[in-house]
Amino acid sequence: MDNVIKHVFFDLDHTLWDFDKNSSLAFEMIFDKFKINKDIQAFLEIYQPINMKYWKLYREEKVSKKELRRGRFIDAFTTLNIEFSLEIIDQMSEDYISFLPLNNYLIDGAKDLLEYLQPKYEMHIITNGFREVQQNKLSNSRIKQYFKTVTNSEEVGVKKPNPIIFEHAIKISGAEIGNSIMIGDNYEADIMGAEALGLRTICFNYHKEKIPSQNIQVSELKNIKKHL
């Protein structure tokens, strides 16, 4: 990547912050509190694709924040033939949001990459995650200091891949489209969304999804150093 790049925009969950690991630990706390006698791993295998489905619907404005939080729990437990009252589901949902930023494992290589990039670029976050949780994640994982700005979909009023959120992030950062790059794991939200505005991108494709060959992609964060 040539040296015209001055600003690096990152997604947070699944790109720097190890959502899967931290989520698993939060569910261990949920299962303990509510005395749920089920194997966590078996539950997560059911929950994770359901959660991804709801997040896609949330990005597309087809479900509300409340429907996302409730629906993913209801659908996962229903699949396991476990039924809870709506009151208990809502309590679990609130607890999950509270428990989630208590564990703050980062993706392998995240801290090293940020240390490497910091002297060379101004760095920023663009996230669809819930506002009240994302700031805690950045602070508790001790990476907040690396980022000049944090753009959250709840504050902007639209979610990635809507180009408006990328426009907002560019504006508040003092960056320009021509001197910026977006790094994220979600091809639809992070990569296509940024490209729609003309931003260059790097896909952290640890999912090993099939994406167009012209896209720069890496399966490990350390390999981003080859491109910046």
Tens digit of pLDDT for each residue in 59-72?
Answer: 999 999 999 999 99
Asked if residues 138 and 175 have their Cβ atoms less than 8 Å apart, the reply is no
- Convert 75-95 into a string of H (helix), E (strand) and C (coil): HHHHHCCCCCCHHHHHHHHHH
Whether 88 has a pLDDT exceeding 90, the answer reads yes
How far is the C-alpha of 103 from the C-alpha of 73, rounded, in Å? 20
Residue matched to tokens 């609130």: 94
What pLDDT, on the 0 to 100 scale, is given for residue 132?
A: 81
pLDDT at 131: 82
* Tens-place pLDDT, residues 160-180: 999 999 999 999 999 999 999
Residue with tokens 């790094």: 183
Residues 218, 205: Cα–Cα separation, whole Å: 6
Question: Which pLDDT band, with edges at 50, 70 and 90, does 139 fall under?
Answer: very high
Give 56's pLDDT tier (boundaries 50, 70, 90). Answer: very high
Q: Does residue 207 surpass a pLDDT of 90?
A: no
The pLDDT value given to residue 2: 52
Please report which helix (H) or strand (E) contains residue 182, including its range.
Answer: strand 180-184
pTM of the predicted model as reported, rounded to 2 decimal places:
0.91
Q: Are 143 and 114 in contact (CB under 8 A)?
A: yes
- Omega before 161 within 30 of 0, i.e. cis: yes
pLDDT of residue 3: 56
- State the chain's mean pLDDT as an integer: 95
**Do 42 and 27 contact (CB within 8 A), yes or no?**
no
Residues 182 and 201: beta-carbon distance below 8 Å: yes
- The full 3-state SS of 27-40, as one line of letters, equals HHHHHHHCCCCCCH
